[in-house]
Structure 1
Amino acid sequence: MTYQRKIRAGLCVTLVFLSSIGFAGTPPASPVATTAWKTGRQTGLPIPRFASVKSFKARMRVGPSTNYATKWIYIKPGLPMEIINEYGHWRQVRDDTGVTGWMHSALLSGARMAVVAPWLTKNAMLRMDPEATGAVVAELQPRVLLSLHSCSGSWCRVSVKGHSARGYIRQSKLWGAYPGEIFQ
């Protein structure tokens, strides 16, 4: 007997909104498509790159200092953030809705996480094997939080944060891995 699980995003992503910036419903532009890769002045790591929120109550600020106003408070550890610039211990980040701001590096982790693409209009299929004909393990709603284990450039091996579901999902259905990016 086979069955499919539908995993909802509502339990997986929680934000406190402190700004008037909204989500337009389309994926934010990736700087990878428009900018050559560079390295961060402080870390020497590639810019842009993905990281994730490490702590509960992580503040995104308007500028790179605690003297700047808080723009957002993220209360869900593991949310993916794209680091787009560095300044001292501060990282300019972009979230999956396109909102940008600054976070202290202590609030971020190098652990790779992703969310099912928020711009999708249909659920994404989590499959047993990395192929379109692989058995469906679960249907994932947009914004479901995932741990990324590896990506082949077209498929990523993932597990659903807080659930036992694991398998493969098309890389194009994620925000947290660049198109064509390969990593183990």
Structure 2
Amino acid sequence: MTALKLRLLAVAICATVAAAHGAMAKDARGPVTNLPLPRFVSMKASEANIRRGPSLTHRIDWVFKRRGMPLEVTAEYGHWRRVRDHDNAGGWVHYTLISGVRMALVQQDLLTVHSRPDKAAPVTAAFEMGVVARLGECTIDWCEISAGGYSGWTPKTTIWGVYPEEIRE
């Protein structure tokens, strides 16, 4: 085979493997919980050591210090979950320090939320960037969030803690 044919064959193989991996990743389940991987959770504790590996003997790389912060679980091993935050910082955390309660992180300064999922709907509140809000119902483009006694609908693209294709009732 010529060098060009070998390169084309390598590209085709890589594309096939990537497509298969994408299909598998979409339907992946955790080997411990049988819950979807990846998935969003939140910090149950006010402080959590994030370790380099799944045991107490591994070095602590980070300490997350914000109760309710949304995290994405990307792997499971025994009582440990590999998580990452909105900045892609992460590592392994003990499962008792996280919760299945869904939260969202506001990613836009003075984010206005509306009374219904419509830009023309009345504004009910404005949230500062970095606010951690409880995640409610989500349509294909909008999510309902609440924090500090205020709630409303916002476009999904303005928050972190929900997948673009995710719908919540």
Q: Same fold (TM over 0.5)?
A: yes
Amino acid at match of 1:76: R
Cross-structure match for 1:178: 163
SS of the residue corresponding to residue 46 of structure 1 reads: coil
Amino acid at match of 1:175: W
Cross-structure match for 1:123: 110
Q: Distance in 2 between matches of 1:59 and 1:135?
A: 42
Identity %: 36
SS of the residue corresponding to residue 47 of structure 1 reads: coil
Q: Distance in 2 between matches of 1:134 and 1:63?
A: 47
Deviations 1:130-163 (A, max 9, x none): 1011111222222211101211121111101xx1
Mapping of residues 22-33 of structure 1, within 5 Å: none
Deviations 1:43-93 (A, max 9, x none): 000000000000121111111111111122122210000000001110000
Amino acid at match of 2:45: S
Match among 159, 164, 168 for residue 149 of structure 2: 164
Cross-structure match for 2:66: 76
The reply on whether 1:40 has 2:30 as its aligned counterpart is: yes
Q: Distance in 2 between matches of 1:33 and 1:59?
A: 33
Q: Distance in 2 between matches of 1:33 and 1:111?
A: 27
Match among 121, 126, 135 for residue 122 of structure 2: 135
Rg larger in structure = 2
Match among 82, 100, 123 for residue 92 of structure 1: 82
The verdict on how the C-alpha distance between 1:34 and 1:135 changes in structure 2, with shifts beyond 3 A counting, is: farther
Per the normalisation by structure 1, the TM-score is 0.75
Q: Point out where structure 1 has 5 or more consecutive residues left out of the alignment.
A: 1-31
Amino acid at match of 2:143: C
Is the Cα–Cα contact under 8 Å of residues 37 and 48 in structure 1 kept in the other structure? no
Amino acid at match of 1:182: I
Q: Distance in 1 between matches of 2:102 and 2:42?
A: 7
Aligned residues: 148
Q: Identify which of structures 1 and 2 has the higher relative contact order when contacts are C-alpha pairs closer than 8 Å and 6+ apart.
A: 1
Greater share of helix: 2
Q: Distance in 2 between matches of 1:129 and 1:91?
A: 35
The reply on whether 1:151 has 2:134 as its aligned counterpart is: no
Deviations 1:97-154 (A, max 9, x none): 111201111001000001012xx4x532211111011111222222211101211121
